[in-house]
Every structure is written in C-alpha cells, then in structure tokens.
Amino acid sequence: MCGICGIKFQNSQSNNEIKEKFLKVLNNIRHRGPDSQNYYHDENLYIGTTRLKILDLDKRSDMPMKFDDLIISFNGEIYNFLEIKEKLISIGEKFITTSDTEVILRLFKNYRFESFKMLEGMYAICIYDLKTKEIILARDTFGIKPLYYSFFDNKFIFSSELKSILKVFKNLNKINYNSCFDYLIKGSILEPNTPYKNILSLKPGNILIVQDNLDYKIKNIETVTSIIRDSENSEIIYTKDDFFHELNKQIMKHTQSDVPLALMLSSGIDSIYIQRILNNLITPFTLGYEFCKKTKNDEINEIKKNFNLNNHITYYAKDNEILNLNTNFNNLSDTLSIDGLQFLLISQFIHKNNFKVALGGFGGDEIFNSYPSYKYLRFFNNFKKIIPKKISYLLNFNHHKIQKLSNLIKNADNLEEMYINFRSIFNKKDAINFLKENKILIEENEINLSEKVSEYTSGIKFINNKIKSLEMNVYLRDQVLKDLDWASMKYSLEIRVPFLTKSLLKISSSKYLVNSLKKDDLFLYGGLKKTKYYQNYIKKGFSTPSNINKKQKKFLATNLNKFIKEHQ
C-alpha cells in the first residue's frame, strides 16, 4: 500500500521548477507510505512512490520499479498474484522479488491492457512504457483505491490524493459548483467529478493512456456493471455452498502479509464473520463513542455481551475528540463528504497500536442485497402500477421521511430516480434553494442525478442486481471507499475489504443466487444461527456521530459553507 504521483510536461518548460513542484506533491502523500520514498525521472517526466511496506519488506521491492522497458508505481494489493506468478513462470518469466508489484509489471509486459482483467485486488497503477512513451493509469474494478488527474498548462499530473495536487498547483483550486449539488443531495460527489473544475477522478475499471504529446484516451476494461451483466447471462450454476467456499478462500487470501493484521470489528455480522473465519490470525479493534455508552449504539458493549474475544482491543472516542474532528473536518478530509470521521478515529486507534494493515467488512451489504434500499425500492417497483401517483401529493408534509416517501411514489416508474431520492439527505428543492442562497448557480442538466447514474443499470435484468450496481457505484464507491482510503492512509494504515472481489460479485449476481442469497446466510454459515447474537441482532452500519445524532443536514450545510468560503 502506497501513494503514487507523477507529472508529464512539455520540454519547453523549466525542468527545475517542475521538479520542485513534483517533489512537493510527493512529500504531500508521504503519510501514505512512510517506509520509503523514491522517484523516476527523464527529460519531461517524473513518477514517484511513497511505500508502506507490507509484502516483501526488502528494498528490492521499493518503487518506482523498472524491468526491461517498463516502469511501475503501484498503490494497492493483488490477492491472486501468486497464481499469476506461476502462470508467468510457466511461459518463461523469471522473478527477483517476492512482491505483487513485479508480478503486475511482468504480466503487463505479456498481456498489455488485458492484464488488468486478470488482477483480483485493489489498485491504482501507473505504468510507463519507455518504448512508446505512454503513461498508463489503471484503477481497480470497485474503486477501492483512488486516482486523481488533471490536464492543464501543457502539463499532466496525477496523484493518490486530491489535496496533494491542490496544495502545489493552486490555480486548480476552482470549485466545481455542480459537484456541490451532488454533495447536498447524497453526501458525496459522483465520479468522475471532484469538488474542483479541473481535476477528475479516474473511474473504476478504466485505464487512462497518455501519449508523449499529452493526447489521451480512456478505455473501459472491466466494471462492476459489466461483471453483473455478464454473470446474469452466464449458464454456470452456483449454489450458496459455492459462494461461501469462495468467500472463505478470499478472506484467507486477504491475509497475505509480512506484517501483523488487525480487524475493524463492529457488531455487524460482516466483520463478525471475518473474525470467526480468521480467529487468532487477526487482532480485532472496536471503536465506541463515549456518548453512546450502554445504548443500542454502543458497539463495544454489543460485542462483549455476545462474544468472548481474548485479543479484543477497544476504545471509546471522547466527546471532545469528536468535536475537534468535526470542527476541522474540511482540513482533514481529502474531499467533500459526509463520511470519514469514524474512519479517522478507528484508523488512528489501530495505528497507535503499531498495525499497518486492517481488514473490514465493507461491501457485505451490497453483495448480500441487505440495505433497506433493496426492500423499499423493490416494493415500490413491484407495485408501481397500482399505487396512484396522486397519493404522493396528499403526503405534503415537511417531515423528511414523509417527503422521501412522497418522492418515491412520484418517481415509482424510474428506479434510478427512486434510488437517488432514497439515498438523499437534502431533497432536490432544498438543495437548489441552499445553493441559491449562497448565490451559486448550477447547470440544469446537472440537477438530474438519475440520468447520470442510469449507466449503472443499463443492460441489467434483475432488480436486485440493478440496485446492487447503483449501491456499489454510487454510495459504496463515491462515499464509503473514498473516505475509508483517505482517512486510513492519513495514519499509514491499509484497509482490505474481502467482500469486494470480482469472484464474489460474479457468483452473487448470477441468476441462481441473485434473489436467494441473504445476509441471514452469514449467520448460518458462520455457525451463529442459534446464538443470542442472532436472536437480538439489529442491523446498523459503522455510523458517524452526525448520523447517530440525526444531524446529517447540519453537518453537510456547515461543511459546504466552510468549503465555499475557503475558496472565495
């Protein structure tokens, strides 16, 4: 796990000035990889890496790494690299490290762009081809690892973090006001947009190819949506036994490490299941909030009353810590989001106990179709023909939940619109009014988020899979994973998410399991069906204090006002 960055520029520009700025960008992501830092350069290119050493701790696996005519800078982990390595050895490749980085490079040498389809893991990769002078950027299918880029002033720059670029190239610091609308509606920003006009996020499953003259193209390689579509059309018969055999295998693969492993353990079944599979192979950490002690939101109490874990490490975040983080959230976070504060707290806690790697149960709700969105959207979709839309106008009250219900009924013939309304924090009218009060005008076509997300349901047959694709591409990717990355890497902590693998997505989306795989199966296969934990289980996420306190709107409005003022 690392941080990567680079800059390509025209020969006419001052090399010394560019180098100075590049090194500042590289230093700005040092927290992502404090174990080593290095860079490659030629006449008009700099590529840098800050490395967090987890696999092959030897200096030989430091980056940028060069073999033959290829150079790589890589952020992430590849969990099937040993299988790929065996295949490459069988066709004559020889290896001098035990890292996954070298495997990626030699795989690319043999299979070029098709190589990215073969990778199972999380990654943001830069490969520079010395022969063609091409820079190739690639991002994993789920978007677990971020990658930002910008073309400006005859330069191309990329980095693992937004602010590492903005602190150096201040002319890119212009707000994308259309993104502010996204933020108010759903608490995060739809990719490829960012809060800034001239910086974009490379979308998951895509590669960006930049030529020597800075011409570029983007290729779609393999996305969540394409995997779901292909799986629906496959005739392979999968059973629940197949799924859980693969899940257990993937959990074990996610333990590949030359350093000790931690677990972000909540009282939810996803992380509990991981703990039961790994048991003493991993050290579980649980975060609680002081103001939630002995309530239903006390995660620590919920785990302790149901399980006796010998190596369980716990911590209650104090009210003044939470207040301090809330006050400074815009400075701490890498992008506009409603999430992240809880990830900062748990990551700092694990880091203080000298761990570099932690597993988490993120993605389980999407794989098992277990968010409330699945239940409510299926209901309104199934009964859209018999629910008169005029009923929605009778529900004309100010209460937020009643407004949501009204909007769901009004838009019952459009799943994407229903989804946006279901996930909304501000409704469309209130968001527009908020922006007008701040003298912000947005483009009319930017208001219709349902049209923007329609690509994620295109060609998908089953409604559960449509909702799964929306949740993975909108909520999970744009909010949870993005915030999990910057918050954890601020404390040099790698987070692994074993539920988010292509093989599990493929099996869970098949026509044989799409409507039958349930969260309840985790209790069954985890041997918990007859326990008090199962009997008293209440589903809840790893919540932020603002969510627990029902103050999400206030949190969003305060942060956005601060953000706008800081950039005026």
The SS3 call for residue 539 is coil
* pLDDT tens figures, 132-162: 999 999 999 999 999 999 999 999 999 999 9
Of 412, 447, 464, which residue is a domain's last?
Answer: 464
CATH code assigned at 309: 3.40.50.620
Using CA atoms, how far apart are residues 127 and 105, in angstroms rounded to an integer?
A: 8
- For residues 516 and 494, membership in a common domain is answered with yes
pLDDT digits 0-9 by tens, 415-439: 898 899 888 888 888 899 988 888 8
Same domain, 78 and 150: yes
Q: Are 472 and 332 within 8 A, CB to CB?
A: no
> Do 499 and 402 fall into the same domain?
no
500 in the same domain as 360:
yes
Alpha-carbon distance of 434 to 32, in angstroms, equals 36
What is the tally of structural domains in the chain? 3
pLDDT of residue 395: 44
Judge if 110 and 169 occupy the same domain. Answer: yes
Same structural domain for residues 41 and 139? yes
Helices within 471-531 (DSSP H only): 482-489, 502-508, 520-525
Residuewise pLDDT in 10s, the chain (568 residues): 689 999 999 876 678 899 999 999 999 999 999 999 999 999 899 999 999 999 888 888 888 999 889 999 999 999 999 999 999 999 999 999 999 999 999 999 999 999 999 999 999 999 999 999 999 999 999 999 999 999 999 999 999 999 999 999 999 999 999 999 999 999 999 999 999 999 999 999 999 999 999 999 999 999 999 999 999 999 999 999 999 999 999 999 999 999 999 999 999 999 999 999 999 999 999 999 998 898 888 999 999 999 999 899 999 999 898 888 888 888 889 999 988 889 999 999 999 999 999 999 999 999 999 888 778 788 777 665 555 555 544 445 455 555 666 666 665 568 898 899 888 888 888 899 988 888 887 877 677 888 999 999 999 999 999 999 999 999 999 999 999 999 999 999 999 999 999 999 999 999 999 999 999 999 999 999 999 999 988 776 666 666 655 678 888 888 899 998 888 7
- Between strands 313-317 and 283-289, the pairing is parallel
Residues 39 and 136 in one domain: yes
Residue 544: both structure tokens together = 């932020």
Whether 402 is covered by a domain: the verdict is yes
Best CA proximity match to 545, nearest among 300, 361, 290, 185: 290
Judge whether 259 lies within some domain: yes
Q: Are residues 135 and 262 in the same domain?
A: no
Is 568 domain-assigned?
no
- What are the E-state strand segments in 130-260? 134-139, 148-152, 155-159, 200-201, 206-210, 216-220
Q: Are 483 and 527 found together in one domain? A: yes
User: Sign of the C-alpha dihedral, residues 97, 100, 105, 109?
Assistant: positive
Report the interhelical angle of 400-410 vs 415-423 (nearest 10°).
170
* Pair of tokens at residue 84: 């790929």
Residue 359 falls inside a structural domain: yes
Who's near 136: CB < 8 A, 6+ residues apart?
A: 108, 113, 125, 126, 127, 128, 129, 207, 208, 209, 210
Half-sphere exposure of 380 (CA within 13 A, CB side): 27
The verdict on residue 563 lying in a domain is no
Residue finishing a domain among 464, 485, 516: 464
The residue type of 72 is I
User: Residue 400's pLDDT is what?
Assistant: 53
Domain assignment present for residue 565? The answer is no
Q: For residue 564, is it within any domain?
A: no
75 has which bridge partners? 124
List the structure tokens of 200.
């974009």
Q: Are residues 352 and 376 in the same domain?
A: no
Domain of residue 26, CATH code: 3.60.20.10
φ, ψ (nearest 5 deg) of residue 412: -70, -10
| Strand bridging mode 261-264 / 357-359 | parallel
Query: Of 173, 190, 222, which residue sits at a domain end?
Result: 222
> Nearest CA to 499 among 383, 397, 366?
366
Residue 561 inside a domain? The answer is no
If asked whether residues 140 and 44 sit together in one domain, one would say yes
Give me the domain span that covers residue 271.
226-367+470-555
Report pLDDT for 61.
84
Tell me, yes or no, whether 482 and 337 share the same domain: yes
User: What per-residue confidence (pLDDT) applies to 394?
Assistant: 45
How far apart are alpha carbons 14 and 539 in whole angstroms? 57
- The C-alpha atoms of residue 93 and residue 433 are separated, in whole angstroms, by 61
